[in-house]
Amino acid sequence: MAEGSPPHVAVVGAGPAGLAAALAAAARGVRVSLIDSAGEAGGQFYRQPAAALGARRPQVLHHQWRTWERLRVGLAAHVAEGRVTHLTDHHVWFVEGQSDGFTVHALLGPEQERPVAVGADAVLLATGGYEKVLPFPGWTLPGVVTAGGAQAMLKGGLVLPGRTVVVAGTGPLLMPVAAGLAAAGAEVAALVEAADPRTLARHARALAVHPAKLAEGARYAAELARRRVRVHVRHTVVAAHGSERVEAVTVAALDGNGRVRPGSERRIACDTLAVGHGMLPHTDLAEALGCRLDGTGVAVDEEQRTDVPGVWAAGETTGIGGAVLSLAEGRIAGLSIAARLNSRTPDARSYEAAAKARRALREFFAVLDTVYAPPAHWTEQVADDTVVCRCEEVPASAIRQAAGELGAGDVRTVKLLTRAGMGWCQGRMCGPAVAGLAGCEFQPSRRPFARPVPLGVLARAGDTDSADETNDMDDTDHQ
């Protein structure tokens, strides 16, 4: 850090966690570079329509809008005062640890080829999560989209994937997605939930402390009932049908063991299937920095510090738990960063309320995790010719062969034997499916870079001239 200048943190991700952290740190004298791939702040949860679309009531697609307004106004004030620099359209591919700080490497703009490097004393990773989808016959057909993806396209682009939608899978995201699509004019033919939310009652104690969360669920349920959306619990999608795009899906009831009940199959005509089986944290940047993981999320201490000095993590990247938990974690991280960068220990009382919310929400989401699980025997619905790795077009038979005849005991060996996970998405889509089909544990695969990087950019990234702090390489030649 330069003599006399305020400490500088790079916050990667401008969703609830990153925004809460940026505001808390900036209010306490830290210079913040808020780096995000989107054109507007908000992340996936508060994804905004492009300004040019002129939405006068974007709040109808959202919940907790007042919280968003508070974050947006706070961000604008800090930006105006020069305490926060909001770098939009910056796609971060690598965070480089150095002896005296960090360099955040990003690619700029829609083509993601122009490099930018931001130097900072500390880094907060608030990179969020992405949706997990388990395969079934027909899941690669156009018109089959992730539930979160359908919601993102609606919130950001004000478009619907089709007219008649089935929303299916498992998890608390499905209800708001179905309600949102219905409100925007789609006919939601069915909501198909593999879990039985009634089993939530068994966890009454953990749930009772969250009346707001329960009320939110009840509101969605009432909204779906009002729009006459059929809700099938303990049901699953067995297959999507069509040639050029989805034309129908087959759903079936699940028995007490999570197996499809023979004879319960029924076909529902639709032109869209929005499907999801929960979420996974984005951990690429953390892993490349050498941060320890705890399960599938980045491990953090009470102050949201990772085990790598100078690196904090907050929000879905530390474990899936929703926007309110992300806000609490982000605030704690921001307070911790402000204290630690000034060689102080943060006053625990300053984040007591946030820490209490964090503890309760983590407990709440642990319960949701046990209730909203994919059908126990989902692999039985995956036919041998079902594509599992969408990028490399690897069928289930190849993965079964790798795990069976060829004896592969982990996802990495399956990948080497079948190419599943070697394509464009680097196994983000197929990882959990490959693990499930191969009968091994799912572990996030270590990827050197968080997104594709042109070789020319890589070749010049080691150039010492271009790694100075906050050096924007925009004006350099980049052929």
Partner 1 sequence: MRSPLELVVARPGPAFTVTFDDREITVLPGQTIAAALWAAGITSWRTTRGSGEPRGVFCGIGVCFDCLVTVNGRANQRACLVRAEAGDVIRTQEGTGHRGQRQQHG
Task: Using CB under 8 A, list all residues that contact partner 1.
Answer: 37, 39, 44, 49-58, 60-61, 110-111, 130-131, 140-146, 148-154, 156-162, 183-185, 244-245, 390-393, 423-425, 428-429
Minimal distance, residue 323 CB to partner 1, in Å: 16
Strand positions, DSSP E, 101-146: 101-108, 114-120, 122-125, 129-131, 144-146
Q: Which of residues 214 and 417 has its CB atom nearest to partner 1 in the complex? A: 417
Q: Which of residues 44 and 304 has its CB atom nearest to partner 1 in the complex? A: 44
Minimal distance, residue 356 CB to partner 1, in Å: 31
- C-alpha span between 328 and 334 (Å, rounded): 10
And the tokens for 272?
Answer: 């869209």
- C-alpha span between 28 and 24 (Å, rounded): 7
Minimal distance, residue 140 CB to partner 1, in Å: 6
Q: Which of residues 141 and 233 has its CB atom nearest to partner 1 in the complex? A: 141
Minimal distance, residue 81 CB to partner 1, in Å: 28
Total count of residues recorded for the chain: 479
And the tokens for 42?
Answer: 């908000």
- C-alpha span between 129 and 3 (Å, rounded): 37
Q: Which of residues 47 and 331 has its CB atom nearest to partner 1 in the complex? A: 47
Please name which of 336, 208, 366 lies closest in space to residue 328, comparing C-alpha atoms: 336
Asked if residues 304 and 85 have their Cβ atoms less than 8 Å apart, the reply is no
Q: Which of residues 160 and 440 has its CB atom nearest to partner 1 in the complex? A: 160
Q: Which of residues 134 and 338 has its CB atom nearest to partner 1 in the complex? A: 134
Convert 200-218 to b/e letters by CB count within 10 Å (16 or more is b).
beebeebbeebeebeebbe
**In the chain, what is the straight-line distance between the N-terminal and C-terminal CA atoms, in Å?**
32
Minimal distance, residue 185 CB to partner 1, in Å: 4
Instruction: Please identify which residue in the block is written with the tokens 């079964």.
Output: 400
- Give me the sheet containing 144-146, strands edge to edge: 144-146, 272-276, 164-169, 187-193, 231-233
Q: Which of residues 121 and 271 has its CB atom nearest to partner 1 in the complex? A: 271
Residue 448, phi then psi, degrees to nearest 5: -65, -35
Q: Which of residues 122 and 144 has its CB atom nearest to partner 1 in the complex? A: 144
